[in-house]
Amino acid sequence: HAQGYQASDDVDIIACADPIEDSGNNFAEHFSVPKVYQDYNEMLDQEDLDFVSVCTWIEMHTDMIVNAANSGIQAIHAEKPMAPTWGESKKQYQACVDNHVMITFCHQRRFGPEFVRARELAHDGTIGDLVRVEASCGNLLDWGTHWFDMFFFYNNDEPVDWVIGQIDGTSTHRVFGVPVENCGLSWIRWKNGLEGLLGTGGTGITGAGNRLIGTHGRIEVHSSGVSLRVLARGASDWETVDPRGAVPEGYNDTTLSVLNLIECVKTGEEPELSGRKALQATELIFATYESSRCRKKITLPLDIEDSPLLSMIKNGDVAEPMVAGTIGGV
């Protein structure tokens, strides 16, 4: 986040807050930040801020975002995933709406050149009509939020009709302090007919980070090696695609995310990583958990407040987390 603010001529980083004094001082020294606080509420009270970045563990997000939104600032850039529960996720977004605060969540892959180019190819006739998107990752909450968001990105943020899913709860572990499933599957149907399939943990299904399937071809986005390749209409083999030039060069995707937010505060346009878009991806996480709990298809909007996974753990329906580590996506 800090690199994004420093890349802008319109923003100066004037303060940071970290409950661990050494961490705050190290950050301030690295980015030449003049004021360091251990209490973020004191920073909100004492400083005249326009932007706040929330870069903490998941369970801390809601209070920080709500308090920041109530402090008179203009914008928040927060880390993902939004919150441990669906109710908290909605609360964060609503606090920003009520206070006219622009909020974004760092689903930065919307500014990754391979993903931007993949979406272009999916809609320019190269693979015919886009009919299905697939992805694999470690878990639904921390990493799955990225791939659910990319599904929406590829489908031009069209609304979802329903979700059906299942998770394995014979063992669970923690990601940034929050329990996640051992493995799972989520099948999504959009209202425009597109289908999506996400496999997590031991149910990895694609052999690629993302796969986009059309009526006459396929696109694959990989995390290593060849980042983007296409099997196009009439082709006998895969073609490697160079994604350079799909986004402004010289910046990483997180920096571009912050720069986009700064520009949108000036113009009033919706940011690419807006809270509204983050909420629609987050809804798929908890809808998948709810489908597993209810053993049925879930038609959106999702009408719950809890995390079905956390509730099932509390009720003894799935296992308590066995590993208290930090494992997840970025």
DSSP H helices in 99-159: 113-123, 144-154
Position 327 confidence tier, pLDDT thresholds 50, 70, 90 = very low
- Least confident interval from 162-176, 239-253, 288-302: 162-176
Taking 70 as the threshold, does the pLDDT of residue 260 lie above it?
yes
Count of residues making up the chain: 330
Residue given tokens 């695609």 in the structure block: 241
List, for residues 103-126, the tens digit of each pLDDT value. Answer: 999 999 999 999 999 999 999 999
Residue ranges of the chain that CATH labels 3.30.360.10: 113-246+278-323
CA 103 to CA 65: how far, in whole Å?
A: 9
CA 287 to CA 277: how far, in whole Å?
A: 16
132 contacts: CB under 8 Å, gap ≥ 6: 194, 195, 196, 197, 212, 213
Superfamily for the 2-108+253-274 domain:
NAD(P)-binding Rossmann-like Domain (3.40.50.720)
Residue ranges of the chain that CATH labels 3.40.50.720: 2-108+253-274
Cα 119 to Cα 15, 25, 127, 149, 216: the distances in Å are 38, 41, 11, 13, 15
pTM for this entry? 0.94
Give the DSSP letter of residue 158. Answer: P
Output the pLDDT for position 224.
65
- Least confident interval from 73-82, 156-165, 175-184: 175-184
Taking 50 as the threshold, does the pLDDT of residue 21 lie above it?
yes
Q: Specify burial of residue 321 (Cβ count, 10 A radius: 0-12, 13-18, 19+).
A: middle
| Percentage of residues in the chain having pLDDT higher than 70 | 95
Q: Which CATH class is domain 113-246+278-323?
A: alpha beta
The answer to whether 54 and 76 are in contact (CB under 8 A) is yes
Cα 229 to Cα 52, 108, 111, 197: the distances in Å are 38, 21, 18, 20
Output the pLDDT for position 31.
97
Q: Specify burial of residue 49 (Cβ count, 10 A radius: 0-12, 13-18, 19+).
A: middle
